[in-house]
Chain A
Amino acid sequence: MIDTFLTSITELARTSGIAQLFTMDGLLNLAMIAIACVLLYLAIAKQYEPLLLLPIAFGMLLVNLPLGAVMDPPTTVIKPLTDEIQESAQYAMIELQDAAGNLLNGFYQDKNASVSGGLLYYLYQGVKLGIYPPLIFLGIGTMTDFGPLIANPKSFLLGAAAQLGIFVTFIGAVCLGFNYQEAASIGIIGGADGPTAIYTTGMLAPHLLGPIAVAAYSYMALVPVIQPPIMRLLTTKKERSVVMKQLRPVSKVERIFFPVVVTLIVCLMVPSATPLIGMLMLGNLMRESGVVDRLVKTAQNELMNIITIFLGVTVGATATAENFLNLQTLGILALGLCAFSIGTAGGVLFGKLMYLFSGGKVNPLIGSAGVSAVPMAARVSQKVGAETNPTNFLLMHAMGPNVAGVIGSAVAAGVLIAIFK
């Protein structure tokens, strides 16, 4: 009895995940688990975008547990039909065709040998098929006030200029040896918009989802660190101290018309941006119409929270050791930082142009908010402006380019998807 007991225990230990950790692949898994723990620390202790970084880090942890099989796809085992199986009359007949189209009978699906996929594999289909990011955009739409943009439509230009980072980084990624699809997915990190980056990568280069999501959300959390030095470097004290004219009030009818107009124009011009822009504007129309409060509450709370969990965990679960621990990831992290910095610089430089042409009425600091990252980037504009002139309140002026950046990055993503898909 003791022998049997010891054999069972030994066998269990030998086939457990712990034993697998001490193989070569297991050590790579251990490294990924350590990275996941660092990200968990950043999410919990430093509160870097915790709503997404926490599930992403945990998804990364789960997928790197040996034998956990949470991301394994289902397998179907097909075997030649034997008399014994045929007599049991309990089998699923399979019809196969050869290359010439001739029917090959005599096969069956061995259900005992077939394995259903892991939990996260099924949840991941929402990312792979491009379902979660547009739903997140629906929630964002219900929470976004486009009033400052409607009051000052010129802000759209800053939202467009800040997309410069996407395209310059695209060139950089191509130079580093990434193919066009991968380069486009890396460039979109410069849009500073998580769902857009995930949507584009899911469509063009799904194998890079893990590193791109981690880079995008990490840099978004680091916006207050990355942007201010660039903003100070590119502007003079005189430009930073410009006090802008108060925005006009925006009527309810304008707010209702806005999402409809944006949907019509953008979706007709760039049809591949329809899922993102369409959902964003649907959410906004629900908010501004004021007649579907219950739907608005669901979209911005329950629905968005559920999707955030699914999106975070499954995107994290794409970061297997094989996909993550390579030089490509380092390249993506470096290019992501460039994308953010160039996007910020593009916005600020265009802000300087507007400062010149408006006769000093536009504060160039609001340009940096064009890189989406709502509302963090707008807060950074306010903070840097207040350093020069503590009575200067740029927040509402910066919200215009900030929300224009969301539309701009979705359009840029649409263009890249249309070209490369």
Chain B
Amino acid sequence: MEEITWGNTLSVVLTGLVVVFAALVILIFLVWLMGKIFIAIGNKKNKEQEQQKQDARRQAQQAMADQAKADQVKTEQAGTGQIEEGIPPEVVAAISAAVAVVMEESAPGAAYTIQRVQRAGVGRSAWGNAGLAAQLSPFDR
């Protein structure tokens, strides 16, 4: 197109605007459609995940209830000597939490029961003190 006329000029402008708008309107439709599809897929996935979470929660509650019942039976059978006298319930709770953390790290999901809480000894041996000092003051040397 070489000849400069109003007709040619306006047809270029019209062609340009129509093609730009057409291309972008098609893109709007496709991107909108893509969004709808992926949102629908995402919602379905979320629902399934929510359902799985609910099932897992229900199972865990059931397992905890069963465990509590079993512990109660064991405690009744073994009498009241499971926790050494003089250890306050707060210490028992802290020890249970620490055990739970360690068990979760080493064997995730494994079921266990704390059978007994008792003092292992009073104070530390000389070797124990030396080891502790070495661990706690590494920069004093």
Q: A residues near B, CB below 8 A?
A: 149-151, 153-154, 156-157, 159-160, 163-164, 166-168, 170-171, 174, 179-180, 184, 248, 250-251, 253-254, 257-258, 261-262, 265-266, 269-270, 404, 407-408, 411-412, 415-416, 419-420
- Report yes or no: A415 in contact with B20, Cβ–Cβ below 8 A: yes
18 additional A-B pairs beyond A265-B23, A411-B20, beta carbons within 8 Å, are A153-B31, A153-B35, A157-B21, A166-B16, A167-B13, A167-B16, A170-B13, A180-B2, A253-B38, A254-B35, A254-B38, A261-B27, A261-B34, A265-B30, A411-B23, A412-B16, A415-B19, A419-B1
Q: How far is the CA of A91 from the CA of B3 in the complex (A)?
A: 48
- Report yes or no: B12 in contact with A180, Cβ–Cβ below 8 A: yes
CB-nearest residue of chain B to A251? B38
Q: How far is the CA of A228 from the CA of B10 in the complex (A)?
A: 30
Q: How far is the CA of A257 from the CA of B8 in the complex (A)?
A: 38
User: Which residues of chain B are near A157, meaning CB under 8 Å?
Assistant: 21, 24-25, 28
- Report yes or no: B25 in contact with A156, Cβ–Cβ below 8 A: yes
- Report yes or no: B24 in contact with A404, Cβ–Cβ below 8 A: yes
Interface: B17 (CB within 8 A): yes
Q: How far is the CB of A276 from chain B (nearest CB, A)?
A: 13
User: Which residues of chain B are near A416, meaning CB under 8 Å?
Assistant: 12, 16
User: Which residues of chain A are near B24, meaning CB under 8 Å?
Assistant: 156-157, 159-160, 404, 407-408, 411
Q: How far is the CA of A163 from the CA of B1 in the complex (A)?
A: 22
Question: Which among A149, A159, A269 is the interface contact of B31 at CB below 8 angstroms?
Answer: A149
CB-nearest residue of chain B to A155? B28
Contacts A149-B31, A153-B31 given; indicate if A251 touches B20 (C-beta within 8 A).
no
Question: Would you give 13 A-B contacts (Cβ < 8 Å), ordered by A?
Answer: A150-B34, A151-B35, A154-B28, A160-B20, A160-B24, A167-B12, A171-B13, A180-B9, A257-B34, A258-B31, A265-B27, A415-B19, A419-B1
User: Which residues of chain A are near B25, meaning CB under 8 Å?
Assistant: 156-157, 160
CB-nearest residue of chain B to A414? B19
- Report yes or no: A415 in contact with B15, Cβ–Cβ below 8 A: yes
Interface: B4 (CB within 8 A): yes
Interface: B22 (CB within 8 A): yes
Q: How far is the CA of A23 from the CA of B4 in the complex (A)?
A: 39
- Report yes or no: B21 in contact with A160, Cβ–Cβ below 8 A: yes
Q: How far is the CB of B44 from chain A (nearest CB, A)?
A: 13
Q: How far is the CA of A266 from the CA of B16 in the complex (A)?
A: 14
Contacts A150-B35, A179-B4, A419-B1 given; indicate if A156 touches B16 (C-beta within 8 A).
no
* B interface residues, how many (CB within 8 angstroms): 29
Q: B residues near A, CB below 8 A?
A: 1-2, 4, 8-10, 12-13, 15-17, 19-28, 30-32, 34-35, 38-39, 42
Q: How far is the CB of B70 from chain A (nearest CB, A)?
A: 45
- Report yes or no: A265 in contact with B26, Cβ–Cβ below 8 A: yes
- Report yes or no: A412 in contact with B20, Cβ–Cβ below 8 A: yes
- Report yes or no: A167 in contact with B17, Cβ–Cβ below 8 A: yes
Q: How far is the CB of A47 from chain B (nearest CB, A)?
A: 32
Q: How far is the CB of B118 from chain A (nearest CB, A)?
A: 53
Q: How far is the CA of A20 from the CA of B57 in the complex (A)?
A: 88
Q: How far is the CB of A260 from chain B (nearest CB, A)?
A: 10
CB-nearest residue of chain B to A174? B9
User: Which residues of chain A are near B8, meaning CB under 8 Å?
Assistant: 180
- Report yes or no: A164 in contact with B17, Cβ–Cβ below 8 A: yes
Q: How far is the CA of A266 from the CA of B24 in the complex (A)?
A: 8
CB-nearest residue of chain A to B32? A153
Question: Which among A248, A404, A419 is the interface contact of B12 at CB below 8 angstroms?
Answer: A419
Q: Which of B12, B13, B31, B42 has the most CB of A within 10 A?
A: B31
User: Which residues of chain B are near A164, meaning CB under 8 Å?
Assistant: 17
Contacts A156-B28, A170-B12, A419-B1 given; indicate if A270 touches B23 (C-beta within 8 A).
yes
Q: How far is the CB of A148 from chain B (nearest CB, A)?
A: 12
Q: How far is the CA of A408 from the CA of B20 in the complex (A)?
A: 6
Q: How far is the CA of A393 from the CA of B26 in the complex (A)?
A: 29
- Report yes or no: A269 in contact with B38, Cβ–Cβ below 8 A: no
User: Which residues of chain A are near B1, meaning CB under 8 Å?
Assistant: 180, 419-420
User: Which residues of chain B are near A170, meaning CB under 8 Å?
Assistant: 9, 12-13, 16
Q: How far is the CA of A180 from the CA of B3 in the complex (A)?
A: 9
User: Which residues of chain A are near B13, meaning CB under 8 Å?
Assistant: 167-168, 170-171
Q: How far is the CB of B8 from chain A (nearest CB, A)?
A: 8
- Report yes or no: A269 in contact with B9, Cβ–Cβ below 8 A: no
Q: How far is the CA of A164 from the CA of B16 in the complex (A)?
A: 9
Question: Which among A167, A250, A262, A419 is the interface contact of B27 at CB below 8 angstroms?
Answer: A262
Q: How far is the CA of A53 from the CA of B34 in the complex (A)?
A: 40
Q: How far is the CA of A154 from the CA of B24 in the complex (A)?
A: 9
